[in-house]
Structures are given as structure tokens and as C-alpha cells.
Amino acid sequence: MLKPFKMRGFQTLPLSLLGRRAVLILVTLFFCVGCDQKTKSIAREDLRGAEVKSFLHDTIRLDYAENSGGFLGLGDSLPATWRTAIFSFGCSLGIAAAFLYALFAVDLGRVQILALSLVVAGGVGNIIDRWTLGYSTDFLNFGIGPIRTGIFNVADVAIMSGCFLILWAHRWKRSEIKETG
């Protein structure tokens, strides 16, 4: 007789908990993806072909870039078929997996769900660009003097915020275990 398949960390969640998670994830997706897509649209309209715009004594620069690679252009020199396979198909699968994990994993707290939602939202924002344009629209650059970041966008900020929040939650959970432990 076959036994039901159980995966570690996944069990049946009460519908009320699943509903609250879904609301948190969907609200995060709505606001982050909406903000990302609107700012990218403005960047394409106002910054493409324009001079770099500088603010706060050159601390913030608005500089239009089309990124066909990954983080900071990594993989930009790969052949187009590889870039599509990795940055469109592969990232889409990864985003879907993170979404499902955030929705159904039993052992996640609110902070971890929010963190994963930010990562998913940023991924969705960039994947929309990849599927519709073939590249991600980047336009933000921060720095002081010669020390500058790469050019990035709002989706990248959401992804990095989610990653830092995941690390912070993990660190906080570990220190809590040591104190009680």
C-alpha cells in the first residue's frame, strides 16, 4: 500500500493561516511590482538617451542601462540562448519555487514570509522585463566620489532587502535558540 508523500517542512496549513499568508504575499507583490514597473517605465521614457541626472552632490545618479545579464551584468557576455535559459526560464522557476515555499512551508514566521515575498516581488519585477523586453531596465546608482554601486532598479532593492531580512531573521532565530538553549 502506498503511503502519502510528505516533504519535510510542509504539512497541511489551516485555511486561516494560509489566507493571511496569501494576503501578505500578494500585497507585497502588488506594491513592489507596481512600483518597480512604474519607475522602469518612467526611466525608459525620460532617461533613455538622456544625460545622467545627479542629485545630492552626486550621491544619487539616475543613469539608464539595459541589463541583459544578471546581478551587476553578470552573464551579459553569454550567448543569447544561454541568457534566456538562465535569466528567463531558470529565474522563473526559482521565483515560482520561492513563492510556493513562502505560501506553504509550515515553519516560517511573518518576517521570513515577508522576506521571501520581497525576493519573489523583485524577481517578478525583473522577470516581467526579461520576458517582455529581453533585458532588465536599470537606472539607479548610489555613491560618494569614486566609490559607487552598480546600476540597479527597484526590483533589485526588493530582492536585496528580502535577502538581508532573511539573514537577519536567521541570525535572530539562532541567537534566540542559544539564549534559551
Q: What is the pLDDT of residues 109-154, one digit of tens each?
A: 899 999 999 999 999 999 999 999 999 999 999 999 899 999 999 9
How many residues are listed for the chain in this entry?
Answer: 181
d(CA 156, CA 35): 12
Residue 6 included in any domain: no
Distance between CA atoms of 129 and 136, rounded to whole angstroms?
5
H/E stretch holding 138 = strand 136-144
- Look over the chain and give the mean of its residue pLDDT values, rounded to a whole number: 87
Report if residue 10 sits inside a domain.
no
In eight-state DSSP terms, residue 141 is E
* Catalytic residue positions, numbered: 138, 156
Q: Do the domain assignments include residue 2?
A: no
In a domain, 77, yes or no: yes
Q: Tell whether 158 is covered by a domain.
A: yes
In a domain, 3, yes or no: no
Residue 77's domain comprises: 16-180
Complete edge-to-edge strand list for the sheet that includes strand 147-148: 53-55, 60-67, 136-144, 147-148
pLDDT digits (tens, 9 = 90+) for 88-97: 899 999 999 9
Residue 36, in any domain of the structure: yes
Q: How many domains does the chain have?
A: 1
